[in-house]
Structure 1
Amino acid sequence: MTDFAISPEALQTQITETLGSKAKSVVLALGELTVVVGAADYLEAATLLRDAPGCRFEQLIDLCGMDYSGYRDGEWQGERFGVVSHLLSVSLNQRVRLKVFVPNEDLPVVDSLTSVWNAAGWFEREAFDLYGIVFEGHDDLRRILTDYGFIGHPFRKDFPVSGHVEMRYDPEQKRVIYQPVSIEPREITPRVIREDNYGGGLH
């Protein structure tokens, strides 16, 4: 492993040359590099980032879904759903963020990266569970955090904040049961704590 990675600017050039037209943008901001690729090129771009000599991102360290429907106070004009991955090159001591926007809001589908990085398996299951993004080619795409009978995807911006049914384990029946919510919904307004409560403010 190298002691020092190449500069972010040099890595930006390297990735731009490696991906060519597959990269929609390669942006450097606040010292971090973000690469956006099209859904049709997602799998091939990921493979290039893993295998190209100047990239060698052999490790996927995170992958998550995104819902942009409320982004920038609703001014966002792009696709509603996206997938963001963080890649690490242990051998070259460098990192990059890979982003893809997923077409078709009604049924968002994008290629699975499990054939490139095995670690994508559980991350993609989480993104499917929470956002409803389908990863084509994933060999075990099922819910991982919510119950098997759960309806909807709770990280979507339009998912209701409160529900009408709760789930609990019944020790007598020895199984999970569903029943009407027993807690009355209420609106909680946080109390404002002013500076004068601290004797003139913090010093």
Structure 2
Amino acid sequence: MTTSLDNLQSALEAALGGRIKAFKRDRGEITITIPAADYADAMRLLRDDARLKFEQLIDLCGVDYSAYKDQPWDGLRFCVVVHLMSVSLNWRLRVKVFAPEDDLPIVASVTEIWSAANWFEREAFDLYGIVFDGHIDLRRLLTDYGFIGHPFRKDFPISGHVEMRYDTETKRVIYQPVTIEPREITPRIIREENYGGLH
């Protein structure tokens, strides 16, 4: 395993060079962070370079780093994490890219490099509001068409902003402000004398 990781690390450093902003090797895995400006070119190199051959995109997801590990976060807020696999060379790689703007997070789309990224990028857009520049059909995937906001952002309220219900009078689905009042529930503990056969 160590030899394989050494070979992958050498191949990554030779192919990407200064495009690697951060390099982490932990638990038998390699994670590299690429600047947003170099992201599309670096991803194409990861697929096309004969030393790397990452033919498959396995997963792509968004991450909101605000309050990361319940601590204040001093870096960029939104990140896209991609998991790649080289079938021919038997390598796996995690690639991270941070959107340069927190107010409107934008990174390049990789759908032209790996078509499998299509729905993953749509999901990250829907849930985190990360815009993938160059995506040909970037629209919501999991939430409703009229949904407002991005529910996986850490500042999104747990109860949401609106609720949906079917109105029998108008015979259609309507949206209305959330009527749920947040409350703190404390469990009631009842102790019985003979519980569990103990006296």
**Fold shared per TM-score above 0.5:** yes
Other-structure match for 1:144: 141
**Unaligned residue ranges in structure 2 (runs of 5+):** 190-194
Question: Which of 127, 130, 140 is matched with 2:127 structurally?
Answer: 130
Deviation at residue 54 of structure 1 after TM alignment: 1.6
Question: Which of 67, 73, 94 is matched with 1:70 structurally?
Answer: 67
- TM-score between both structures, scaled by the size of structure 1: 0.85
Deviation at residue 190 of structure 1 after TM alignment: 5.8
Question: What is the DSSP-based 3-state SS (H/G/I as helix, E as strand, rest coil) of the residue aligned with 1:128?
Answer: helix
- Aligned residues of 1:65 and 1:83 also touching (Cα < 8 A): yes
Other-structure match for 2:91: 94
The one-letter amino acid paired with 2:132 is: F
Deviation at residue 37 of structure 1 after TM alignment: 0.4
Other-structure match for 2:4: 7
| RMSD, matched Cα | 2.5
d(CA) in 2 for partners of 1:164 and 1:22? 41
Equivalenced residue count is 192
Deviation at residue 57 of structure 1 after TM alignment: 0.5
Distance change (3 Å), C-alpha of 1:29 and 1:168 = same
- Aligned residues of 2:122 and 2:138 also touching (Cα < 8 A): yes
d(CA) in 2 for partners of 1:164 and 1:27? 39
- TM-score between both structures, scaled by the size of structure 2: 0.87
Question: What is the DSSP-based 3-state SS (H/G/I as helix, E as strand, rest coil) of the residue aligned with 2:17?
Answer: helix
d(CA) in 2 for partners of 1:89 and 1:5? 17
1:159 aligns with 2:156: yes
* Identical amino acids, percent of aligned pairs: 65
**Unaligned residue ranges in structure 1 (runs of 5+):** none
Runs of 4+ with >6 A deviation: none
Question: Which of 17, 25, 30 is matched with 2:22 structurally?
Answer: 25
Q: Render the CA deviation track for 1:117-156: whole Å, top value 9, x for unaligned.
A: 0011100001001111100000100111111111111111
1:40 aligns with 2:49: no
Deviation at residue 68 of structure 1 after TM alignment: 0.5
- Aligned residues of 2:63 and 2:78 also touching (Cα < 8 A): yes
d(CA) in 2 for partners of 1:43 and 1:174? 48
